[in-house]
Amino acid sequence: MLTDPVNPSMQSRLEVRGLHLWRGEHHLLRGISFTLSGGELLQVKGQNGVGKTSLLRCVAGLLPAESGECLWNGVEARLAAAQFNQSLLYLGHSNALKQDLTALENLVFTLGLKRTVSDSDCQQALSRVGIPQCAELPVRVLSAGQRRRVALAQLAMSEAPLWVLDEPITNLDVQGITMLEGLLAEHLARGGAVVSAAHQPLLAGHPGNRELVLN
Amino acid sequence: MSVNSQSLSPFSLAALILRRDLHLAARRWDQVLQPLVFFVVVITLFPLAISPELSELRRIAPGILWVAAMLASLLAADALFRPDVEDGVMEQWVLSGQPLAWLLLAKTAGHWLLTGLPLVLVTPLVATGLGVSSEHWLLMFSTLAVGTALLSVLGAIGAALTVGLRRGNMLMALMVLPLEMPVLIFGARAMDMGLHGEAVTGPLSLLAAMLLLSLVLGPFAMAAAIRISIE
């Protein structure tokens, strides 16, 4: 039953072909290709400055590549941007949080752009990432690790089949990394796909674990 | 994994953005007040520098009010998109799957509510000091309301174009000022004609027409500029 709605893994397929990117005089990405299906986690590795973030931004559609294509379920992502963006959750280097809003308000306003959310849903997501006590505090007063957790709370509520995460474990403590791995494993089990830039391996030993080394 | 984003209406999106910006403004009210303080201070300096003679001040009042309003809006425009671009929120807006032009229009509307409308409301107070009598309040409200809205949209286009640059505000002023000249000319002219008892419908209609045009085309220019700026 390929069209079974409870098993959407068949329709989550990211295909990147021959991606080339120049930054100024520097030929950063030289023909990157990979295919990622539902249930798989691609970890992009490489030294600092090798182009991990640029690759993720190209995949997310924030950065247009000079050549190559990025297909989502067989459709060029740039041509069906609105549709692709609804299937995508991108978390960059910055946590995309407003310092003057509380953790809860930040979640409501970020997720509210994608779908209708209630305060209690967001409160639950904050509990899921282990910081329910920070809901009413302005992000300005939170520690770097707590801010990261507020940003990661989006993952706990996400219905998007494709997650693109740039260094998601930055500033997280050991429990935080375990919590993130739990979220990732759930997402993969639901048939979602993840592209993540990471220096440390995540979900070691998971059957869907794949690796892409840039150099 | 159903994606139910279709349930969001454009108006609930705009309301969400307005609500967020009002929340933020309430916590950063000192920054929001900056253009208003600038506007009031500049206008109150003129009587001190030129002459306390009300008949003389009345003659140049429209020019003073409009130049001050224009510079205040230029001052405010730099902070329109910069914070959201710097903390990465704008990336989330671009990737939200919602029409970016509409989100930016809502943001600009909120910007006008917070920085343009207060100028309009405080104008009678400062205009009295320039010898403008209370019978002309409606005239001042209408011309400045349309004018500041237009200045906000033009400023937003400039801000979107220069937000990716480190010292973009000088460049923005250079780009936006020529575009704002017609607003200054027609706005000051409308107010001047009104103060002399002439009909103002001509220049006021022109201002309103320019506002409608900028509301229709401006957001698309902003969206394209933002996409380039955050690359």
| Rounded mean pLDDT, A46-56 | 91
pLDDT attached to residue A114: 87
Instruction: Decide: A91 and A166 in contact? Cβ < 8 Å.
Output: yes
Query: Which residues in chain B are contacts of A152 at CB distance < 8 A?
Result: none
Q: In which band, very low, low, confident or very high, does the pLDDT at A215 lie, cut at 50, 70 and 90?
A: confident
Domain membership flag for residue B4: no
Tens-digit pLDDT profile for residues A102-159: 999 999 999 999 888 889 999 999 999 999 999 999 999 999 999 999 999 999 998 8
Span A79-84, average pLDDT: 89
Burial class (CB in 10 A: 0-12, 13-18, 19+), B18: middle
The answer to whether residue B3 is domain-embedded is: no
Q: Pick the residue from chain A with its C-alpha nearest to B7.
A: A115
Nearest to A97 among B8, B12, B87 (CB): B87
Question: Residue A42 pairs with which residues in a beta bridge?
Answer: A195, A210
Q: Which residue has the higher pLDDT, A41 or B52?
A: A41
**C-beta atoms of B95 and A192 within 8 A:** no
A201-213 tens-digit pLDDT: 888 888 888 889 9
Its domain, for residue B151, covers: 11-229
Is position B24 within any domain? yes
Kindly state whether residue B1 falls inside one of the protein's structural domains: no
Q: Closest-CA residue in chain B for A82? A: B97
Backbone angles phi, psi at A31, to 5 degrees: 70, 55
Tell me what pLDDT residue B169 has: 81
End-to-end CA distance of chain B: 30
B85 in Cβ contact with B163 (< 8 Å):
yes
CB contact under 8 A, B1 and A62: no
Residues composing chain B: 231
Q: What is the pLDDT of residue B89?
A: 94
pLDDT score recorded for residue A10: 45
Does residue B2 form part of some domain? no
Q: Calculate the average pLDDT of chain A.
A: 89
What average pLDDT does range A158-170 have in this prediction?
92
CB-closest option in B3, B4, B98 to A113: B98
Q: Is residue B132 part of a domain?
A: yes
Q: pLDDT tens for chain B, 231 residues: list them.
A: 444 445 688 999 999 999 999 999 999 888 889 999 999 999 999 999 988 888 889 999 999 999 999 999 999 998 899 999 999 999 999 999 899 999 999 999 999 999 999 999 999 999 998 989 888 999 999 999 999 999 999 999 999 999 988 888 889 999 999 999 999 999 999 999 999 989 999 999 999 999 999 999 999 999 999 999 988
Q: Do A100 and B27 touch (CB under 8 A)?
A: yes
| B24 contacts A87? CB cut-off 8 A | no
pLDDT (0 to 100) of residue B32: 87
Number of domains in chain B: 1
Task: Please name which of A198, A205, A192, A200 lies closest in space to residue A40, comparing C-alpha atoms.
Answer: A192
User: What pTM does this model have?
Assistant: 0.92
pLDDT at A206: 87
* Mutate: best of B95, B104, B107, B229, partner A, most A CBs <10 A: B95
Closest to B67 measured CA to CA, from B47, B43, B50: B43
Alpha carbon of B82 to those of B16, B71, B161, B168: distances in Å? 19, 18, 11, 10
Which has the closest alpha carbon to A135: A106, A169, A174, A168?
Answer: A106
Candidates A82, A87, A98; nearest CB to B87: A98
The reply to whether residue B1 touches residue A190, judged by beta carbons under 8 angstroms, is yes
Half-sphere exposure of B4 (CA within 13 A, CB side): 8
Residue B153's nearest CA partner among B189, B190, B207, B203 is B207
Instruction: With cut-offs at 50, 70 and 90, classify the pLDDT of residue A176.
Output: very high
Residue of B nearest to A106 (CA): B20
Chain B residues with CB under 8 Å of A161 CB are 1
Q: Is residue B36 part of a domain?
A: yes
Do B87 and A112 count as a contact with CB atoms less than 8 A apart? no
Mutation target for A interface from B16, B92, B231: give the one with most A CBs within 10 A.
Answer: B92
Q: Which residues of B touch A187 (CB under 8 A)?
A: none
Q: For residue B137, what are the contacts with CB-CB under 8 A and spacing of at least 6?
A: B124
What DSSP character marks residue B83?
A: H
Average pLDDT of span A20-27: 89
Cβ-proximal residues to B120 (8 Å cutoff; 6+ apart), any chain = B140, B141, B144, B145, B148
Q: Tokens at residue A164, please? A: 């693109």
Q: What is the pLDDT of residue B68?
A: 96
| Cβ contact, residue pair A113, B231, below 8 Å | no
Instruction: Indicate which of A87, A110, A113 best probes the interface with B, i.e. most B CBs within 10 Å of its own CB.
Output: A113
Chain B CB contacts of A61 under 8 Å are 95
Place of tokens 């892409």: A212
Residue A11: which pLDDT band, with cuts at 50, 70 and 90? low
Using an 8 Å CB-CB cutoff, list residues of chain A that contact chain B: 8, 60-64, 82-88, 90, 92-101, 105, 109-110, 112-116, 138, 159-161, 190-192
Cα–chain-centroid distance for residue B66? 12
Is A98 close to B24, i.e. CB distance below 8 A? yes
DSSP-derived 3-state class of residue A172? coil
**Span A16-45, average pLDDT:** 91
Residue B123 lies in a domain: yes
Please answer yes or no on whether A99 and B87 come within 8 Å at the CB atom: yes
Q: Indicate if the pLDDT at residue A7 is higher than 60.
A: no
Interface residues of chain B, partner chain A, Cβ below 8 Å: 1-5, 7-8, 12-13, 16, 19-20, 23-24, 27-28, 83, 87-89, 91-99, 103, 230-231
